[in-house]
Homo-oligomer: A and B are copies of this chain.
């Protein structure tokens, strides 16, 4: 039996000071919903921040009471796992603008007494990193041993290394990219269009109209889902199979159609449309080079942390060559970087899926970080 974190309870952390956002918006206050796993050591040096991707949330590991499905990264976070909670204190939050408990479009705007809905201000990766640093302050964490994330989460880890070079020991950047290409933006735009063209969207005011754009959100998820899988994994799983007889085929001619519709339907029942739009825009806007008018190497030169960069062979959303752009910039900037291009058939989703070599590389990097923490501590 593998060890488990057992039952986890999230905590709501309130921030009563206003925040100015990087695209011009402002919130007078906000909440972040947070989970932690493991124990913070006496000198508060063993904290690891986990950043979630587009549709992720704070529930990264362990189980909620009465549920059988663990958090989204449970395979990689827990006792004796890659991020070993016997060694590290892991902090995982739902990002600002999310729909899983942190302040976002579903929350009540204190100035109007109504939900923000589409009036929720635009959010960027910079804003997330800023609010994550405030969260660290509130927990008394001056410096994270590591900031870790996959996909959009990896972009947050990279932004941390740039914005707070003294506040992180390592950045683990998995299946990410220095910024989106036109094709990446195009896929996000199509997902957004699927939502805004749903007549139940009502320009984002669906709650006021007592509707939900589940058709549009479902379609957006179907589009996203294709880009998370590889041609190979879809071929292995579905090929040209006919629809499964034990599920409603609803006119589908092939199993892959039935599967995508089901995935879209499931997602549309749990995810807020305005948050989906906000998150995809944050992805599109992410461009630390443009913001600073610097090349990637110049941008990363002041970074003080170690870097682990990981990519997956069949990931075509953020292909290995995109991760290698980050690695090359780090090498050029003379930073400490380890890189692995991992073999996997699972496309972009590979960063979430069990994979022994991925686990071992990730774990040994994290364990080394921990042993160095020990060295720092005993030196003191």
Interface residues of A (CB under 8 A from B): 179-183, 185-187, 189-190, 193-194, 197-199, 215-216, 219, 222-223, 226, 229-231, 234-235, 237-240, 252-254, 256-257, 260-261, 264, 281, 284-285, 287, 290, 316
Contact = CB atoms under 8 A, between A and B. Distances in A.
B234 A183 contact: yes
Contact of A197 (B181, B187, B215, B284): B215
B240 A185 contact: yes
A182 B237 contact: yes
B253 A284 contact: yes
A166 to B, nearest CB: 30
A219 B239 contact: no
A182 B219 contact: no
Contacts of A179: 240
A179 B235 CA distance: 12
B256 A186 contact: yes
A10 to B, nearest CB: 33
Chain copies in complex: 2
Contacts of A234: 181-183, 186
A260 B183 contact: no
A260 B197 contact: no
A181 B281 CA distance: 31
Contact of A231 (B181, B238, B252, B261): B181
A239 B181 CA distance: 6
Interface of A is mostly: helix
A238 B182 contact: yes
Given A189-B260, A197-B198, A198-B197, A180 B219 contact: no
B281 A240 contact: no
A181 B261 contact: no
Given A183-B235, A254-B185, A240 B193 contact: no
Given A194-B194, A253-B284, A284-B253, A183 B231 contact: yes
B197 A216 contact: yes
A189 B281 contact: no
Contacts of A199: 199
Contacts of A264: 193
Contacts of A257: 185-186, 189
Given A183-B234, A185-B254, A186-B256, A219 B194 contact: yes
A17 to B, nearest CB: 29
14 contacts: A179-B240, A182-B235, A182-B239, A183-B229, A185-B254, A186-B226, A186-B260, A189-B222, A189-B257, A190-B226, A193-B261, A253-B281, A253-B285, A254-B284
A323 to B, nearest CB: 15
Given A189-B222, A190-B226, A194-B194, 18 more contacts: A179-B240, A180-B240, A181-B234, A181-B240, A182-B234, A182-B238, A182-B239, A185-B240, A189-B256, A190-B222, A193-B219, A193-B222, A194-B219, A197-B215, A199-B199, A223-B223, A253-B285, A316-B316
Contacts of A216: 197
Nearest to A180: B240
A19 to B, nearest CB: 22
Q: Which of A215, A252, A256 has the most CB atoms of chain B within a 10 A radius of its CB? A: A256
A256 B316 CA distance: 19
Contacts of A215: 197
